[in-house]
């Protein structure tokens, strides 16, 4: 079975801890994970890269994790300074943020429709909501994030894709913290500095502790706790599809009441 992960830095795992290392995906000779995470990518960038990836291979299960940079890149651009060149580099390569939740919904829905047209069953597409951007849930950034998450969940409901509501799980944990930290990365150099600290052995959890953070090391990128929590949400979505997949294959072969399934055959 092939599991394709596509998304931004949370999937890539270069900044912070990759959730993919905690996925409940058995190591078997015919099981493999394709990781297409790209730091700084937006929904439009993911959509374009996914189209190219599916020209080469159709996975058994697809996990789509995106949206944070559609919110963050416009905010970064407004700060000017070093952020201006950073955002320009992102947009020049194709990581263009959606204009708002409405356009985000349109692009997301189009992406799902294009994906099913390539041959992936809608029930094998798992869509991950955006976890908190900063651990203070009352921030303006997180209020905007909730609007974008409503777009993801609407696209999921309208198309029949499978939700992996990481946002809800993160929020439930963070709501129990009496004085959440407002720490959030301030400039592009923070990324490089944090990566060096983690690689030197300090670890993402140590950075989190110093900053009063619980699930992230800088307000956005995951520490071990955050990565494990996100992996658990996604693994649950994968597991929920694994058994029904066998059931629906059997029902089609015996009842003949449903049309042929879009996608590749399972073994």
- pTM to 2 decimals? 0.89
* Contact call for residues 20 and 231 (beta carbons, < 8 A): yes
Kindly indicate the confidence band of residue 35, based on its pLDDT and cuts at 50, 70 and 90: very high
- What is the mean predicted confidence (pLDDT) over 117-138? 96
Q: Are strands 32-37 and 61-65 parallel, antiparallel or unpaired?
A: unpaired
Domain range annotation of the chain: 2-176+229-255
Higher pLDDT, 167 or 248: 167
Q: What is the pLDDT of residues 86-118, one digit of tens each?
A: 999 999 999 999 999 999 999 999 999 999 999
Q: Cα–Cα distance between 238 and 120 in angstroms, integer?
A: 15
Block residue for tokens 């159709």: 58
By CB neighbour count within 10 A (0-12 exposed, 13-18 middle, 19+ buried), where does 21 fall?
A: exposed
pLDDT at 251 over 50: no
pLDDT of residue 160: 96
Phi/psi at 222 (5° precision)? -75, 145
Buried-state track 132-151, b at ≥16 Cβ within 10 A, e below 16: bbbbbbebebbebbeebbeb
Q: What is the CATH architecture assignment of 2-176+229-255?
A: 3-Layer(aba) Sandwich (3.40)
Phi/psi at 182 (5° precision)? -95, 5
pLDDT of residue 203: 83
* Contact call for residues 94 and 36 (beta carbons, < 8 A): no
């Amino acid at each position: 079975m092939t599991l394709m992960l596509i998304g931004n830095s949370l999937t890539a795992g270069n900044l912070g801890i990759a959730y993919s290392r905690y996925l409940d995906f058995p190591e078997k000779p015919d099981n493999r994970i394709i990781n297409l995470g790209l730091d700084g990518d937006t929904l439009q960038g993911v959509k374009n890269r996914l189209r190219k990836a599916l020209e080469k291979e159709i996975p058994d299960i697809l996990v789509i994790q995106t949206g944070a940079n559609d919110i963050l890149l416009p905010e970064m651009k407004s700060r000017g300074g070093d952020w201006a060149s950073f955002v320009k580099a992102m947009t020049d390569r194709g990581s263009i943020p959606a204009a708002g939740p409405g356009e985000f919904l349109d692009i997301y829905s189009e992406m799902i429709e294009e994906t099913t047209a390539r041959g992936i069953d809608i029930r094998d597409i798992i869509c991950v909501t955006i976890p908190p951007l900063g651990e203070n849930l009352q921030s303006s950034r997180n209020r905007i994030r909730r609007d974008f998450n409503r777009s993801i969940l609407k696209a999921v409901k309208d198309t029949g894709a499978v939700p992996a509501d990481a946002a809800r799980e993160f929020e439930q944990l963070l709501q129990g913290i009496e004085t959440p930290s407002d720490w959030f990365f301030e400039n592009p150099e923070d990324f490089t500095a944090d990566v060096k600290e983690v690689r030197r052995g300090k670890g993402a959890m140590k950075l989190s502790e110093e900053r009063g953070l619980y699930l992230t090391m800088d307000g956005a990128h995951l520490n071990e706790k955050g990565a494990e929590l996100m992996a658990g949400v996604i693994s649950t979505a994968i597991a929920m599809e694994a058994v029904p997949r066998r059931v629906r294959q059997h029902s089609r072969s015996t009842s003949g009441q449903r049309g042929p399934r879009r996608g590749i055959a399972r073994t």
